[in-house]
Amino acid sequence: MLATSILAIVDTDRLVRGVEGLTAGPYHITLTRMTETEIRAYVTNGDGKTYNVTLTNGRSLCGCGDSMFRGKTCKHAAVALALYTIRQPQTAGKPEGEATPKPSNLKLAKVRRAA
């Protein structure tokens, strides 16, 4: 699972701050894409700044200074997104606002040929 691979490599202090931010409620996460190999989302922190976050197997990408300049897994984005996907597995597969597709009708019917 992508989320657990990210959490396995994050620094303890960033993990603690990410947990605090996610449980206290200042982070807002909007999933934009989720596949078996990638999770993408917009993460808004308590200051109202929004970051594009991408999680892949063993790697996180974020537009924040912590991630960009230090090359670290940041607390407010990747950690919060990884924890969010673990806590919300039933909704994490669909981006917010995406409608549930209706199943296709594959029932076969008889067709009369013209003579």
pLDDT at 8: 80
Say if residue 34's pLDDT is above 70. yes
Q: How many Å apart are CA 2 and CA 82, to the nearest integer?
A: 8
Residues 48-57 pLDDT 10s: 899 998 888 8
pLDDT at 92: 44
Say if residue 103's pLDDT is above 80. no
Percent of the chain's residues with pLDDT above 70:
71
Percent of the chain's residues with pLDDT above 90:
1
The token duo for 86 is 């673990």
pLDDT at 93: 47
85 versus 77: the higher-pLDDT residue is: 85
Domain boundaries, the chain: 2-92
Q: What is the DSSP letter of 76?
A: I
Q: How many Å apart are CA 78 and CA 81, to the nearest integer?
A: 5
32 versus 25: the higher-pLDDT residue is: 32
Q: Where are the beta strands (DSSP E) in 23-111?
A: 28-34, 38-44, 50-56, 59-62
Say if residue 80's pLDDT is above 80. no
pLDDT at 3: 77
